[in-house]
Structure 1
Amino acid sequence: MLLCHSLQELQEHGIDKVSIACGNFDGIHRGHRKLLQQAIDQGNAKQSTPIVLSFSPHPREFFTGKCIPTLSSLEKRMETFSKLGIKALVILDFNKELAATEAHDFISKYLLNSVSITDFCVGRQWLFGAGRKGNIKLLQEYSDSFTTHAVDEFLLDGHAVSSSRIRQALENHQFQDAEELLGHKWNISGPVVKGLGLASEKLNTPTANINTGIPLLPISGVFAVHAKINSTTHNGVLNIGAAPTFLEKQRHSQHVELHLLDFEDDIYGEQVHIHIHAFIRPEKKFSSAEELKEQIHHDIAQARQTL
């Protein structure tokens, strides 16, 4: 599918009429799918191309300067969008200029000066523009230009399904609850890349370092997992965290390290899909490599028993 950075760019690919689903779509949960389906249905009805309009960084990250834990990588989202029938993803750079743009000006500058929009589908509570003063009522004032669809939240157990609710469930290790909210299994995936070699050299426990494409996952610790590589599923132990025993003084991204049980093949460069089965323990700093090595043996034994 196409990845663009403005609606105008779509015209370079022969797209001049679109039905838009607007949002962040982290995890693409049941509520997101309801919104996406609305845009797809309207596109089919009016012969317009269903697309997603999103923002990067997340506005909350822009205003707070803090990294938000994320459920899915951009690559994974695009893959899911494509499977659902979305033809293009347009990501607007959420910068100082966009943050300061008044709601009316956002509509005229970013929505109405390029492709023709037949439908604009968004969550009913969506706010936009400087000071978050834009709302559904304002969008509906532009009915001569496009039809606004205010999509209600998807409720589960009387509460709205949201990415923040899913992140909280994962933090609490309520994996089944998180997957019920998502409407699908939550997987960590990515290619195996070169790491620092600490696990092999100092701990005699080889691990595969996974590049998830996600700066900060919503969970950390040690987990019993199933890992799929080339259509074959293996049992393993996954560590997500900062490797505090060795890297306490370094600034680095979150590490995702996978140890496969009874497995010795070279899998550098291979794509791995990891499904978490159970929580084993939180990550902690050990006083020595030997102490950590002993703990890892316990982790592996517990994973074997759990899996």
Structure 2
Amino acid sequence: MKIIELKHPHSINQQDLPPIVLALGYFDGVHLGHQKVIKTAKAKAEELGINSAVMTFYPHPSVVLRKSNAHAACITSIKDKAEEIEKIGIDYLFIVDFTPSFAELLPQQFVDQYIIGLHGKHVVAGFDYTYGRLGKGTMETLPFHSREMFTQTVVEKVVENNEKISSTLIRELILNGDIDTLPTYLGRFYKTKGIVVHGEKRGRTIGFPTANIEHIDEYILPSTGVYAVYIRVSGSWYKGVLNIGYKPTFHDPSTVKLSVEVHIIDFSDSIYDQEVQVMWIKRIRSEQKFNSIDELIAQIQRDKEAAIRHLETIKRDKNLHFV
């Protein structure tokens, strides 16, 4: 897959690209609804005998338009998003730098420059996709703005358990710690990436050494507590039990920053400064304060056993993708 980053105004000429079928959307999470849009574009491209493409935007439009950090945190970083889209077999990925000047484009200008101008011959988007200044362009107005240079397919909402699959729903599930339900909507378990950094090194003194993880991007993180996870280190996946929180047994939560640490089961290598990936499987319990170190050690042992049970249970689950 070829990745093309576009800054407005872009300098690509139509003849610089082959004819394409273009899927449009922000695609945070690349969930099952998004996948339907992207796979529809891929199928249409195969039908027409031309290339498939996806256009996404960075950062989230609301960060620019509302000057809000509400959507700064992501389900998938831009790199993760590209990886998931590539797995679907798309030929081109356009990443548009979403700026105030880009946001001011009128719907016709957006179509002229970013669809027709990129050699789009067919467009695929969700029923609620909007484009142009103030989102005035819709899938109903797109045929008018197309200048008869391309056709379109509208993908209706994807529903599961009587709920529309959406990034908003997935964000809520993550924030609530309901991560074991995510494969139903994401099509996979939730993953985040980070770097192993030096921590307080307290875990090793009580028999449960941990890898302290500093996340690379502003991921949406699950609620505080203990989780069964898989963690990828140097290309291999290992079972783990993760704690996210403020370690109230040792600290006043109001005085420390949130920490994420994983006890990697049957693993003893030093992995400081390495990039790792966490696959969040199931929440075991909420974070709690213990009266003694012995109480804490006993609970960690129970958490470890519970994590192993959960991980063994889902080991052959079709939703568990070790890729």
Q: TM-score, normalised by structure 1?
A: 0.82
Matched, 1:129 2:132: yes
Give CA deviations for 1:202-226 in whole Å, capped at 9, x if unaligned. Answer: 9765432345433132413232323
Distance 1:136 1:169 in 2: 29
Give the CA deviation at 1:31: 0.8
Query: Structure 1 residues 134, 158: CA separation in 2 closer, same or farther (over 3 Å shift)?
Result: same
Give the CA deviation at 1:137: 1.8
Distance 1:296 1:38 in 2: 51
Query: Structure 1 residues 105, 93: CA separation in 2 closer, same or farther (over 3 Å shift)?
Result: same
Give the CA deviation at 1:26: 1.8
Contact 1:99/1:129 (CA < 8 Å) preserved in 2? yes
Given candidates 139, 142, 146, the residue that maps to 1:139 is 142
Amino acid at match of 1:107: V
Query: Structure 1 residues 298, 221: CA separation in 2 closer, same or farther (over 3 Å shift)?
Result: farther
Query: Structure 1 residues 121, 143: CA separation in 2 closer, same or farther (over 3 Å shift)?
Result: farther
Amino acid at match of 1:147: T
Match of 1:22 in 2: 24
Query: Structure 1 residues 112, 11: CA separation in 2 closer, same or farther (over 3 Å shift)?
Result: closer
Match of 1:213 in 2: 216
Give CA deviations for 1:150-169 in whole Å, capped at 9, x if unaligned. Answer: 11111112321111112222
Query: Structure 1 residues 191, 219: CA separation in 2 closer, same or farther (over 3 Å shift)?
Result: closer
Distance 1:43 1:267 in 2: 44
Match of 2:5 in 1: 5
* Sequence identity percentage: 24
Amino acid at match of 1:209: N
Distance 1:232 1:151 in 2: 37
Give the CA deviation at 1:70: 2.0
Within 5 A, what are the aligned runs for 1:86-235? 86-113=90-117, 115-141=118-144, 142=146, 144-188=148-192, 190=193, 192-195=195-198, 197-200=199-202, 206-210=209-213, 212-222=215-225, 223-229=227-233, 232-235=236-239
Amino acid at match of 1:217: I
What SS does the aligned partner of 1:26 have? coil
Matched, 1:51 2:53: yes
Amino acid at match of 1:103: P
Given candidates 68, 78, 84, the residue that maps to 1:80 is 84
Give the CA deviation at 1:270: 4.8
Give the CA deviation at 1:180: 0.8
Match of 2:305 in 1: 305
Contact 1:278/1:306 (CA < 8 Å) preserved in 2? no
Distance 2:168 2:200 in 1: 34
Distance 1:239 1:106 in 2: 45
Query: Structure 1 residues 47, 211: CA separation in 2 closer, same or farther (over 3 Å shift)?
Result: farther
Given candidates 233, 250, 274, the residue that maps to 2:278 is 274
Contact 1:52/1:88 (CA < 8 Å) preserved in 2? yes
Judge which range, 291-300 or 44-53, deviates more. 291-300
Distance 1:12 1:44 in 2: 21
Matched, 1:259 2:257: no
Give the CA deviation at 1:136: 0.9
Q: TM-score, normalised by structure 2?
A: 0.78
Q: What is the root-mean-square deviation in Å for CA atoms of aligned residues?
A: 3.3
Query: Structure 1 residues 14, 108: CA separation in 2 closer, same or farther (over 3 Å shift)?
Result: closer
Give the CA deviation at 1:282: 4.1
Distance 2:306 2:18 in 1: 54
Give the CA deviation at 1:5: 1.8
What SS does the aligned partner of 1:184 have? coil
Q: Structure 2: where are the runs of 5+ without partners?
A: 308-323
What SS does the aligned partner of 1:198 have? coil
Distance 2:50 2:3 in 1: 17
Amino acid at match of 1:301: Q
Distance 1:160 1:228 in 2: 31
Give the CA deviation at 1:182: 1.4
Distance 1:66 1:234 in 2: 34
Distance 1:272 1:13 in 2: 41
Alignment coverage as a number of residue pairs: 298
Q: Structure 1: where are the runs of 5+ without partners?
A: none
